[in-house]
Homo-oligomer: A and B are copies of this chain.
Amino acid sequence: MTTDSFELEQFLPYRLNRAAEFVGLRFAAHYKAKYGLTRPEWRTLAALGSSGRMTSKAVGIHSSMHKTKVSRAVFALEQRRWLKRSQDEADRRLEHLELTAAGQQAYRELIELARRYQTELELEIGESGIEALSTGLTAIEQVIRRSGKGKRPEPDDL
């Protein structure tokens, strides 16, 4: 018999997606309201802020975004004068990205916001919940890493 019960509520992809959406949207509301940033932009800022000068491609890898998303986010941040590009001398295809002073300032404010939100979350979810979650996520992250290796004739995406 294959017609057994199936409940969306206990289906892992559904549950994960719901949780991610809830947690993510609430945070997004903060920086969207305060700075009008989109999520790709915030991620790019975060990547650049924490790792310093790097290329678009590196940003994409670091923050798991498709290159088009990165491209557009970089453009937006550039408009805002929060980052500047510079051509690589040796290889003229790639350009290095770096936050401007204003960008770094914004970064500092944003991560402060992020930290506050994280502790707020920890409060709501409870220490044990957070810990369990983290363990589970780590397990998935391993799967992601594994699945990233060896596959993909076109390592274009993600």
Contact = CB atoms under 8 A, between A and B. Distances in A.
Contacts of A2: 108, 112
A25 to B, nearest CB: 9
A139 to B, nearest CB: 3
A50 interface: yes
B144 A22 contact: yes
Interface of A: 2-3, 5-8, 11-24, 27, 43, 46-47, 49-50, 62-64, 108, 111-112, 114-115, 117-118, 121, 124-126, 128-141, 143-144, 147
**6 pairs of A and B residues whose beta carbons are closest in the complex:** A133-B136, A129-B139, A20-B20, A132-B135, A6-B111, A132-B136
